Structure 1
Amino acid sequence: MIRILLRALIFLLSAALGLWVASLVLPDLTVTASGFVTAAVVFAVTQSVLSPFLAKVVARGAPAFLGGIGLLSTFVALWIASLFPGGLTITGWQTWILAALVVWLVTAVATLLLPLVFLREARGKRAGVTRPIP
């Protein structure tokens, strides 16, 4: 149970990080402070539901396209998150494409690196190692 919650937290944090980085890099992508949490949660939930579904559909019909599932589900999750008022706004087709690329890349890297941070903390606590608070 804890492992599932930890994975959900990592996925939510990586989605939030991806949206935040995209909002810094792309001038036509804005995320309001009040709608950031909503956009991140909607994006993370949509992405987690869409990815396995699209992978199954594409695997049956066109297995050569399996590599693009992450980008496609990121694009669709961004679109769904932008439908909620007061959160995420993306203007221009170039920004939509770049946003999908940036968010996909950042979430992929964060999903790989965040577990290492959490696992290091957990191992340190189990071993009785404490770090000084800076």
Structure 2
Amino acid sequence: MITFLIRAAIFLVSAFLGLVAADLVLPGFSLHWDDWWGIVLAVVIFAVLQSILAPWLLKITRRHAQAFLGGIGLLSTFVALLVAVLIPAAGIGIDGPVAWIIGTLVVWLVTALATWLLPPLFLKKKVSDRRDP
């Protein structure tokens, strides 16, 4: 249970880092920093949708369009961003096609790197405890 909670926290942190990175590097991608609750909502919506959409899209793509398997992460990131932007209370805005395309790439890349690099930092002790009886 603790490992599940740590992984969920890592996924939320990685979503936050991805959204902040896109906000910092793209003029048309903005987090509404004056509304911190909106940012929290945007991060949670994005993270939950990303965690649901990625496996679902993988299953559909594997069944119907194998050539697109490599783009599942990008597609689920785009759809999660789209839904987060469409929810008025979420503190995120994306204006223009360049911000949508580059923003999707930046958020996907940062979240992928964070979900790859953060678990060893927080789950290392848990793994070593299991190995040593």
**1:65-121 deviations in whole A, cap 9, x for unaligned?**
11100000000000011112251100001110001000000000000111122134x
Q: Which residue identity does 1:17 align to in structure 2?
A: L
Aligned residue in 2 for 1:119 = 123
Give the share of equivalent positions with the same residue, in percent.
58
Q: From 77, 86, 90, give the equivalent of 1:83.
A: 86
Distance in structure 2 (CA, Å) of the matches to 1:21 and 1:85? 22
- SS of residue paired to 2:88: coil
The unaligned stretches of length 5 or more in structure 1 are: 127-134
List alignment gaps of at least 5 residues for structure 2.
none
- State the aligned residue count: 123
SS in 1 for 2:58: helix
Counterpart residue number, 2:29: 29
**Which runs of at least 4 in structure 1 moved beyond 2 Å after TM superposition?**
none
Match for residue 131 of structure 1? none
What SS does structure 2 have at the residue aligned with 1:30?
strand
Does the alignment pair 1:74 with 2:77? yes
Amino acid in structure 1 at the alignment position of 2:11: F
What TM-score, normalized by structure 2, do the two folds share?
0.88
SS class of match (2:75): helix
Q: SS of the residue aligned with 1:23? A: helix
**Are residue 110 (structure 1) and residue 114 (structure 2) matched?**
yes
Aligned alpha-carbon RMSD (Å): 1.3
Amino acid at match of 1:67: G
Shift of 1:61: 0.5
- Which is worse superposed, 62-71 or 78-87? 78-87
2:98 is matched with 94
Match of 2:12 in 1: 12
Amino acid at match of 1:81: A
Give distance in 2, aligned partners of 1:3 and 1:117. 13
1:59 corresponds to which of 59, 62, 68: 62
* Aligned partner of residue 85 in structure 1, secondary structure: coil
CA contact (8 A) 2:3 2:123 kept: no
